[in-house]
A and B are shown apart, each in its own frame.
Chain A
Amino acid sequence: MTAEEIIKPENKVYAKPDLLNDNHMHYCPGCSHGVVHRLIAEIVEEMGIADKTIGIAPVGCAVFAYKYVDIDWIEAAHGRAPAIATAVKRLNPSRMVFTYQGDGDLAAIGTCETIHAANRGENIAIIFINNGIYGMTGGQMAPTTLEGMKTSTTPYGRRIDLNGYPLKISDLLVQLDGTCYVTRQAVHTPAAVRKTKAAIKQAFLNSMEGRGTSLVEIVSTCNSGWKMSPVESNKWMEENMFAKYPLGDLKNTVKK
C-alpha cells in the first residue's frame, strides 16, 4: 500500500478523541497523566455523556486537567474534590461526576473528605493517580511513598520510624459500605491501558446509575520526581510499586 492509501478514512483504526483538545500538555515526557486524560476523553465521548459530565480537578500536577479535556470542570482546593463532587452530584443527580486526584491530594490533605464521601456512598467516581510522590511541588514525600524511597523531603529514603508506613488508602475504602467498586490499575503497557479504560468506564457507569462510590487507583510513574528515565520508571514501578500496591479489583459489588 502507498502512504496515500494507508491514510484513507476507511483505514482509520484510532483517532484522538475530539474532547481531548490540542493544548500542549505541561506534563513531563513519560508521565502517566496524559494517558489517563486521553482515556477519560475517550470514555466520555464513547458514552456520549459530555453534556452530563462534570469533572473535579485537584491541586497537584493535574491541577490544569481542565485545560486539556473539553468538558465542564470545577477546580478544587487541595484535597477537597470529594466534598465538591458530593455537592455537585447531590444538586445535579442526573450528572456523571468524577474527581481526578493525586496521592497527596486524596490520601494526605483530603483523607477526611475521601473517606466520608465514600462512606456516604456518594454516587461519584474517583480517579486516583498514585505515583508515590508530590510531583508539582518538586518531589516531596507522599503518603504512598515506599519505604526507603528517596524524595526531596526524605533525602535518605523514607523511614518508617520517622514518616510512618505507605498508606494503602484503596484498601481502607474497600471496608466502607458506601463503595461499590474499588480497583487498582496501571497504564504502563497497552494491555494495562485497556484494563484501566474498562475500569474507568465502569466507574463512570456506576456514577450515572447511582450505585455508590467508585475508586479507580492508577499506580503511576513520576520519572522526573523519581529521577529515572520513563523506561526505567516503568520497570521500577513494576518491581517495587506493584509489590506494595498489587493490581486488580479490590471490590466490585456490581453484578456483571
Chain B
Amino acid sequence: MEEDVRLMKGNEAIAHAAIRYGADGYFGYPITPQSEILETLEAEMPWETTGMVVLQAESEVAAINMVYAGAACGKAVFTSSSSPGVSLKQEGISYIAAGELPALIVNVMRGGPGLGTIHPSQADYFQATKGGGHGDYHLIVLAPSSVQEMADFVGLGFDLAFKYRTPAMILADGIVGQMMEKVVLPPQRPRRTDEEIAAQCPWAITGRPATRKPNVMTTLELDSYQMERNNERFQRTYRLIEQNEVRYQEYYTDDAEYLIVAFGSIARICLKSIEEARKNGVKIGLLRPITLWPFAYDRIAELSKQVKGMQCVELNAGQMIEDVRLAVEGRVPVTHFGRLGGIVPNPNEVLESFYSQFPTAKK
C-alpha cells in the first residue's frame, strides 16, 4: 500500500496506521468511544495481508496481559480502551514498565470517575502521566489533537517504545477519537522478520536455541538491593526520555502577553478563542504540550518570564495545571478553566473565562 489520503475518524486512523506501521498484534475489548479501533481492524483482516494478529479478548485485563506477552516476544503489539477500561489495564501496564518492554496503549478518554459518561474528557491526565499502576514508573504520553496525529502517533509511539524499551500511551479524548478529518496514511511497512526481531531484541522470548542461555521475562526480584538497582536503571531511562523527547507546539507566543496551555482537542478550540482575542488586540499565545510526559517544564518556565499570566484549559477539574504551576514557580498567576463529565466548551466560553480571570487583559 502506498501513501494514501483518506477521510476517516480518529479511531479508524489508529487502526489503519497500525496495520501500515507493520504492527504484529492488537488485543482489545470493546468500550465506547473507541470501539472503532477493534472494529476497523477486524474489518480490515490484516492477518490475511501483513500477518498481523487481531483478537477480541475476554476483558481489558486479559488484553493488556496479551500485550505484555507479545511485547516479551519482541513483537510490536498494542491495545486500546477508554477510561474505565484503562483503569483495568493498570496492573498490566505496571508489569510492562517493570519488564522494560516496548508496547503501545491507546486511551480515548471519556468522562469519569466510575462508569461516568461516554462523552469526551481529559480526566485521566493524572493516571497517564503520574504512573497509574503501582510502583515508580512513567509512560511516554502522546496527546493528539487531530486525526492526522492519531495516525502519526501510532508510529511515533511504537518507535519511542522500542527506542527506550518502555510503554508509550496515546492519550486521546473522545473528540479526536470520533471526529472525521482528512488524514494522510503512511505507506505500508513490512512486519519485521523473526531474524530481525531476534537481532533488535536479543532479550525476546522466542524459544531457546542451543546457542544461547534461556531468556526469562519476569518482573519479580526478591533481593531488595537488586530491585533498587533495577529501579535506578528505570529512572536513568526516564531521565534520558526527559532530556530527549519533550514535544510541544506553540502558536502566537512571540509577542504573547498571556498564555493558554491546553492539550488535545481542546487546544484547537483555544486556538480559535485566541484568534478572536487577537482581533481585539489581546495578545494571547498558546502552548500545546504534545508529550504530556515528559512535560514541557523548561519552555513553560521560560514563557512565565515573558507573560503576565497563564490559563490552563482542560476537560477536567484541573490536572495538567499542577505541572504548569511546577514550571511557573509562582512567577505569574496560573488559572484554570475546565468543563467536566463530558461537556466541551466553545471558544466564547473559553474567552469569557479568560477575561473573568484576567480582567485587565481586555482592551
Q: Do A and B bind each other?
A: yes
Q: Interface on A for B, CB 8 Å cutoff?
A: 50-54, 56-57, 63-64, 66, 70-77, 80, 83-88, 90-92, 95, 112-113, 116
The one of B73, B95, B220 in contact with A63, judged by C-beta atoms closer than 8 angstroms, is: B220
A75 to B95, CA, bound (A): 10
Could you give, for residues 84-121 of chain B, a 1 whenever the CB lies within 8 Å of some chain A CB and a 0 otherwise?
00000001100100000000000000000000000000
Shortest C-beta distance, A226 to chain B (Å), equals 25
The one of A50, A80, A88, A90 in contact with B208, judged by C-beta atoms closer than 8 angstroms, is: A50
Max count, chain B CB within 10 A of own CB: residue among A52, A70, A77, A95: A77
A83 to B53, CA, bound (A): 14
- In the complex, residue of chain A having the shortest beta-carbon distance to the beta carbon of B68: A84
Given contacts A54-B207, A77-B95, A83-B63, 5 further A-B contacts (CB under 8 A): A63-B220, A77-B91, A80-B62, A87-B65, A91-B24
Interface size bracket, B side: 35 or more
A75 to B69, CA, bound (A): 9
A53 cross-chain contacts in B, Cβ below 8 A: 207-208
The one of B53, B59, B77, B205 in contact with A73, judged by C-beta atoms closer than 8 angstroms, is: B205
Q: A83 with B66: in contact, given A72-B214, A91-B53 (CB under 8 Å)?
A: yes
Q: Interface on B for A, CB 8 Å cutoff?
A: 24-25, 27, 53, 55, 57-59, 61-63, 65-70, 72-73, 75, 77, 91-92, 95, 205-210, 213-220
19 contacts between A and B (CB under 8 A): A54-B207, A56-B69, A57-B218, A63-B220, A72-B214, A73-B205, A73-B217, A74-B69, A77-B65, A83-B63, A86-B66, A87-B53, A90-B53, A91-B75, A92-B73, A92-B207, A112-B58, A112-B62, A113-B65
Contact B219 A75 (CB under 8 A): yes
Contact A51 B65 (CB under 8 A): no
A50 cross-chain contacts in B, Cβ below 8 A: 207-208, 210
Max count, chain A CB within 10 A of own CB: residue among B69, B77, B207, B208: B69
Contact A91 B68 (CB under 8 A): no
The 7 A-B pairs of least Cβ separation, nearest first, read: A75-B218, A87-B66, A116-B58, A87-B69, A84-B69, A83-B62, A80-B65
A86 to B53, CA, bound (A): 11
Contact B61 A80 (CB under 8 A): yes
Contact B62 A66 (CB under 8 A): no
